[in-house]
Structure 1
Amino acid sequence: MSLQPHKTIKWGIIGLGNIAHKFAKDLLTIEDAQLQAVASRSLDKAEEFAKTFQSVKAYNSYEALAKDPDVDAVYIATPHSFHKAHAMLCLEHGKAVLCEKPFAMNLEEVEEMIALAKEKKVLLMEALWTYFLPHYQFALQALKDETYGKLLKVEADFGFTRPFDEASRLFDKAVGGGSLLDIGIYPIFATLSTLGEPDHIQADCTHFDNGADSSCDMRFIYKNNTEAVLKSSLIEQTPTACTFICENGTITLNTQFHTPTTVTILQNGAEKILDYTGNTIGYNFETLHFNQLIRDGKTESDIMTFDFSLKLIKTLDKVRSIIKLEY
């Protein structure tokens, strides 16, 4: 039973880049939710964002937002290397925290965040939005039910091209830029959420001149003769699809598989396409889940659990170790 079934959740957003715009746009579609405050190091940027997305307040200080008594939950959308510090800031002030993926830069940082959340008894969740999308939940249920037989192999990629810009967060190694943490996390997530942690990992990468990884090819090997073949790239346009190959058919999450998309089922030579595209970008699904966790007085998600986030960052750390990528 919900503790506060109709409570309006008042949100704050720290970091007002591209992903924050998407989150805020979808937040406007949710009943019993309100954008209460936004924060940027630039007050002009914060005020412009607040005007666009109907935020009550705008701050030029993350600390001020964290201290705002009217804010229930904070969405952290700053660059990867700041996730831990900003999450800890908000947790210290009793704010529920939805922190963008990757949760932090390494296992040690994630463990510190989780430890503080448990100490403070405050809700904390990694914002890996794909987990909550209807098409992904459909695939997970079909694989769990073995609708098409046992899962044998996962093939997933995420790649696009963009001119190298050393001033861009995407290419800045110091803040976790590069293909692995930014987009490679999605193929790895797809594998861990279906096959679990691998018994062995093979990986290779290419680099930009500044040391950030420009592409990463990975193979996850399991003792039961299953495997995953994964790729991330900032120098190659790939299908950005995810295929689950089963004994009696395949499930393919089509292009931009991490977003609401179509799903192709191939079985006995027959093809069926399911359309899961909708009227929102898709961030509303994780937000609805998080809002309900707050209303129910929960301090951990039953979908994006601490255990899963720990497995995810451990796997990212292992891949980084293999390809000798250090931040």
Structure 2
Amino acid sequence: MKNKDIINWGIIGLGNIAHLFAKELKLVKGAKLVAVASRSKENAVAFATTYQCPKAYDSYEAIMNDNNIDILYIATPHDSHAELTIKALEKNKHVLCEKPIALRYEDAEKMIATAVKHNKFFMEAFWTRFNPSFRAAFAKIKQGEIGTLRYINADFAFYAEEKKGNRMFDLKTGGGSLMDIGVYPLFLAYTLLGIPKNIYAKSIFHSSGVDTQTAMILQYKEAHAVLYSGISHTSNVEATVSGTKGRINLNSMWHMAESYTLIKDDVKTIFEFPTQEMGYLYEIEECHECIRNNAPQSNLWSHKNSLELMKIVEEVKNQIGLQF
């Protein structure tokens, strides 16, 4: 697909995040939304009309059989990520799948094995990895700007209203704080420090069985990461990365920050990286770059990265006794 000017997208699952994604897809040069799919024809037609998309399907099978689509963005609830990704890859589609990649490590392995077997591009949609502010801060940290890393502290919490139909309280679809937002602090620790030696986690649970608050400590040879996620209250949604020579604050909301603060010798320096819209377009551009260069995965968020992070998530899940 090298030098392909236009890359045709399809979207499966038309919830809130799909709306945000479709809005930013229009801003990416060479991207064209050609089809969307929902289990409801009415929803599919309404979504397609909003974003000037020519095709609206009321079945996921139908959109996968559309030969005009190059890549499918899967934005359904977590429990269907593995099944739909595998089917799409087998239908000769590239796939960008919302995080978390799956609810189980073994499912993530099958998804990646299928992508490799069919030689199709596949990536977990960890959009934070492509955020300009995060990339710049990451580069500075890796260059040794704040010395040897010793400590990471990151939280992510918001208040989720307990109402009928709120997937956050639906155990079957992978609800709760860990799989929806706890993966972000874990992603940060993993990206900067790698695989921990030990993991300690405790949770508070809702009557539905989902975790409403999860606290995690990741122990490394010379560092700790203290992480937290919750859906029963709000928090600052900030992250601090501390080293032997200084620290970097990823400003709120850190997973989509437009700035970071470098603190060395009591001097604070703010680096600003304004994003277009929320910043989904950067992961879209990464998909285009990989597809046009016949790359089966991203160097910034690889298959190995997804699997290793999922391994960490699975250990936390097992420790707190979360069962889907």
Q: How much is the aligned-residue C-alpha RMSD, in angstroms?
A: 1.0
The ranges of structure 1 where at least 4 consecutive aligned residues each deviate by more than 6 angstroms after the TM superposition are none
In structure 1, the residue corresponding to 2:172 is in which secondary structure?
Answer: helix
Q: Indicate the residue corresponding to 1:40 in structure 2.
A: 38
- Contact 2:132 2:258 (8 Å CA) reproduced: no
Indicate whether 1:309 and 2:312 are aligned.
no
| Deviation of the 1:301 alpha carbon | 1.4
Separation (CA, whole Å) in 1 of partners of 2:31 and 2:276 = 18
* Matching residue within 21, 27, 30 for 1:29: 27
Q: Give the alignment of 1:192-207 within 5 angstroms.
A: 192-207=190-205
Q: Give the alignment of 1:1-327 within 5 angstroms.
A: 4-223=2-221, 225-327=222-324
Separation (CA, whole Å) in 2 of partners of 1:159 and 1:260 = 15
Separation (CA, whole Å) in 2 of partners of 1:78 and 1:97 = 13
Separation (CA, whole Å) in 1 of partners of 2:9 and 2:120 = 15
| Deviation of the 1:111 alpha carbon | 0.6
- Contact 1:214 1:233 (8 Å CA) reproduced: yes
- The TM-score normalised by the length of structure 2 is 0.98
Separation (CA, whole Å) in 1 of partners of 2:164 and 2:313 = 23
Where does structure 1 lack aligned partners over 5 or more consecutive residues? none
Specify the code of the residue in structure 2 equivalent to 1:101.
K
- Contact 2:250 2:257 (8 Å CA) reproduced: no
- Contact 1:260 1:282 (8 Å CA) reproduced: no
Give the length in aligned residue pairs.
Answer: 324
- Contact 1:187 1:231 (8 Å CA) reproduced: yes
- Contact 2:6 2:30 (8 Å CA) reproduced: yes
In structure 2, the residue corresponding to 1:13 is in which secondary structure?
Answer: strand
Q: Which stretch of structure 1 is more off in the superposition, 162-171 or 300-309?
A: 162-171
Q: Which stretch of structure 1 is more off in the superposition, 172-181 or 258-267?
A: 258-267
| Deviation of the 1:54 alpha carbon | 1.7
Separation (CA, whole Å) in 2 of partners of 1:22 and 1:260 = 17
| Deviation of the 1:266 alpha carbon | 1.2
- Contact 1:97 1:125 (8 Å CA) reproduced: yes
Specify the code of the residue in structure 2 equivalent to 1:8.
I
Separation (CA, whole Å) in 1 of partners of 2:44 and 2:13 = 9
Specify the code of the residue in structure 2 equivalent to 1:211.
G
In structure 2, the residue corresponding to 1:118 is in which secondary structure?
Answer: helix
| Deviation of the 1:162 alpha carbon | 2.1
| Deviation of the 1:6 alpha carbon | 4.4
Q: Which stretch of structure 1 is more off in the superposition, 257-266 or 23-32?
A: 257-266
- Contact 2:132 2:275 (8 Å CA) reproduced: no
In structure 2, the residue corresponding to 1:193 is in which secondary structure?
Answer: helix
Specify the code of the residue in structure 2 equivalent to 1:302.
N
In structure 1, the residue corresponding to 2:199 is in which secondary structure?
Answer: strand
Separation (CA, whole Å) in 2 of partners of 1:306 and 1:31 = 26
- The TM-score normalised by the length of structure 1 is 0.97
| Deviation of the 1:166 alpha carbon | 4.8
Separation (CA, whole Å) in 2 of partners of 1:306 and 1:186 = 17
- Contact 2:251 2:257 (8 Å CA) reproduced: no
In structure 1, the residue corresponding to 2:113 is in which secondary structure?
Answer: helix
Specify the code of the residue in structure 2 equivalent to 1:71.
I
- Contact 1:91 1:120 (8 Å CA) reproduced: yes
Where does structure 2 lack aligned partners over 5 or more consecutive residues? none
Separation (CA, whole Å) in 1 of partners of 2:23 and 2:218 = 36
Specify the code of the residue in structure 2 equivalent to 1:34.
K
| Deviation of the 1:144 alpha carbon | 0.8
- Identity percentage over the alignment? 39
Separation (CA, whole Å) in 2 of partners of 1:283 and 1:101 = 13
| Deviation of the 1:96 alpha carbon | 0.1
- Contact 2:157 2:231 (8 Å CA) reproduced: yes
Specify the code of the residue in structure 2 equivalent to 1:138.
A
Specify the code of the residue in structure 2 equivalent to 1:280.
E
